[in-house]
Chains A and B, each alone.
Chain A
Amino acid sequence: MSYYFSIVGTNDKALYEHEFGTSKQGGDGIARFPTESRHHIQFVSNSSIDIVEEVQWSPTTPTSGGAPMYLKHIDKFQNLYVSGFITGGNVKFLLLTAPAAAPASRSSALASSARASAYPSSSNYNPTAPATEEAVRNFFVDVYDAWVKTIMSPFYMVNDKVTSPVFRGRVAGAAKKYL
Chain B
Amino acid sequence: MAATPGLRYPSNKKTIYDRNLNRSKNAELSRAAFAYLFVEMISYAQKRVKGIADLERRLNQQGYPLGLRLLDLLLTRLPPPSLRPTRILPLLQFIAQTLWRHLFNRPADALEKSESDPAQYMLYDNDPLPNTYISLPREMSQLNCAAFVAGVIEGVCDGAGFPTTGVSAHSVGEQEGGGGVEGRMWPGKTVFLICFRGEVLEREEVLGRGGSG
Report B-chain residues with C-beta under 8 Å of the C-beta of A165.
4, 7
Q: Is the CB of A158 within 8 A of B65?
A: yes
Complex formed: what's the CA distance from A64 to B90 in Å?
Answer: 9
Q: How many residues of A contact B (CB 8 A)?
A: 36
Which B residue's beta carbon lies closest to that of A158?
A: B68
Given the known interface contacts A65-B90, A149-B17, A152-B69, the answer about A86 and B84 at a Cβ–Cβ threshold of 8 Å is yes
Q: How many A-B residue pairs have CB under 8 A?
A: 91
Which B residue's beta carbon lies closest to that of A167?
A: B17
Complex formed: what's the CA distance from A148 to B71 in Å?
Answer: 10
B residues adjacent to A (C-beta < 8 A): 4, 7, 15-17, 19, 21, 65, 68-69, 71-73, 75-76, 81-87, 89-90, 159-161, 203, 207, 210-212
Complex formed: what's the CA distance from A63 to B87 in Å?
Answer: 10
A171 to chain B, nearest CB (A): 11
Complex formed: what's the CA distance from A68 to B87 in Å?
Answer: 13
Q: Is the CB of A66 within 8 A of B68?
A: no
Q: Is the CB of B17 within 8 A of A60?
A: no
Residue in B76, B81, B83 whose CB lies within 8 Å of A145: B76
A137 to chain B, nearest CB (A): 11
Q: Is the CB of A148 within 8 A of B68?
A: no
Q: Is the CB of A90 within 8 A of B89?
A: no
B89 to chain A, nearest CB (A): 7
The CB with the most chain B CB atoms within 10 A, among A63, A66, A68, is that of A66
B102 to chain A, nearest CB (A): 14
The CB with the most chain B CB atoms within 10 A, among A59, A60, A88, A146, is that of A88
Which B residue's beta carbon lies closest to that of A57?
A: B86
- Verify if A118 is at the interface (C-beta below 8 Å from B): no
Residue in B71, B89, B203, B207 whose CB lies within 8 Å of A89: B71
- Verify if A123 is at the interface (C-beta below 8 Å from B): no
Residue in B17, B65, B159, B160 whose CB lies within 8 Å of A170: B17
Complex formed: what's the CA distance from A104 to B32 in Å?
Answer: 70
